[in-house]
Amino acid sequence: MTLKSLYNENRLFFTGFILFAIACTFLLLFFSKADGFYFLNPFHSSIADFIFIYFTYLGDGFFCVAIGLLLFLFKRKYMSLMVISSYALSGIIAQALKYYIIEARPAVFLKDSSYKYFIENVTLHNFHAFPSGHTASAFALAAVLAFGVKSKNYSWLFLTGAILVGYSRIYLAQHFMDDVLAGAVIGFLSAITCWIFFDKIFRRLLRL
């Protein structure tokens, strides 16, 4: 598998991701960190709080591993290996960057502001915001699933789910836009890397 062939087979997902990245970059260029955060959080509601508190778990490591195990049980062993490996790669990169980049999260960055939508009973961490690990995991999972399904029309569904996980991290005041964009790029590139470089290895392993 080459990058060119992967792109040709998955133009819908690639195009959607590029448009998403452009939109995020636009916000980062024309808004400050705080202003961009306020722009994306104009209001909250109890229903949206409930939805995003649980939706954000779609980017949790346990969820990604669970999907990998389910695929394995349903005889989709190749896809299972791709899901687990892309999650592992994105997680390693994200956690390594978090370790070296001590970036403040909204709870600290905005502690002296008038922001009023911090959600009760939601853990608000203080530092190691960059990049968003949940977003990285969500995009790695979404990309692998999009690459693996026969009907590429599902690409929009997977991409939309990953974008909503990324937005949930902002909505829940866990991350800023730059954290989310970086996580999305890490997840997407991790999936591409695994799909290109592990393809032959996994196929040989499964033949054994």
Q: What DSSP letter does each residue of 180-197 carry, written as one string?
A: HHHHHHHHHHHHHHHHHH
* CATH code of the domain covering residue 84: 1.20.144
In a domain, 38, yes or no: no
Examine the pLDDT at 207 and tell me if it is beyond 90. Answer: no
d(CA 186, CA 130): 11
In a domain, 173, yes or no: yes
pTM for the model stands at 0.95
Number of domains in the chain: 1
Question: If you search the block for the tokens 């909250």, which residue do you land on?
Answer: 44
pLDDT (0 to 100) of residue 67: 97
**Mean pLDDT score of the chain:** 94
Q: Note whether 142 and 158 are within 8 A (CB).
A: yes
Examine the pLDDT at 120 and tell me if it is beyond 90. Answer: no
Residue 67: CB atoms within 10 A of its CB come to: 19
Examine the pLDDT at 35 and tell me if it is beyond 70. Answer: yes
DSSP secondary structure letter of residue 59:
G
Instruction: Tell me the chain's radius of gyration from C-alpha atoms.
Output: 17
Examine the pLDDT at 166 and tell me if it is beyond 90. Answer: yes
Cβ contacts of 64 within 8 Å, gap of 6 or more = 83, 84, 87, 137, 140, 141
Please state, in angstroms and as integers, the Cα–Cα distance from residue 31 to each residue in 44, 154, 164, following that order.
Answer: 21, 33, 21
Examine the pLDDT at 10 and tell me if it is beyond 90. Answer: yes
DSSP secondary structure letter of residue 56:
G
In a domain, 23, yes or no: yes
In a domain, 21, yes or no: yes
In a domain, 132, yes or no: yes
In a domain, 48, yes or no: no
Query: Residue 151's domain spans which residues?
Result: 3-28+58-207
Which of 134, 147, 160, 5 is CA-nearest to residue 63? 134
pLDDT (0 to 100) of residue 196: 95
In a domain, 138, yes or no: yes
Q: Note whether 102 and 127 are within 8 A (CB).
A: yes
pLDDT (0 to 100) of residue 58: 95
The arithmetic mean of pLDDT across residues 134-163, rounded, is 96
Q: Is the dihedral of CA 76, 78, 83, 87 positive or negative?
A: positive
pLDDT (0 to 100) of residue 208: 64
The arithmetic mean of pLDDT across residues 173-179, rounded, is 96
pLDDT (0 to 100) of residue 205: 85
Which of 96, 180, 178, 79 is CA-nearest to residue 134? 180
The arithmetic mean of pLDDT across residues 191-208, rounded, is 89
The arithmetic mean of pLDDT across residues 148-156, rounded, is 93
pLDDT (0 to 100) of residue 125: 83
In a domain, 107, yes or no: yes
Residues of the chain with pLDDT > 70, as a percent, come to 100
pLDDT (0 to 100) of residue 186: 98
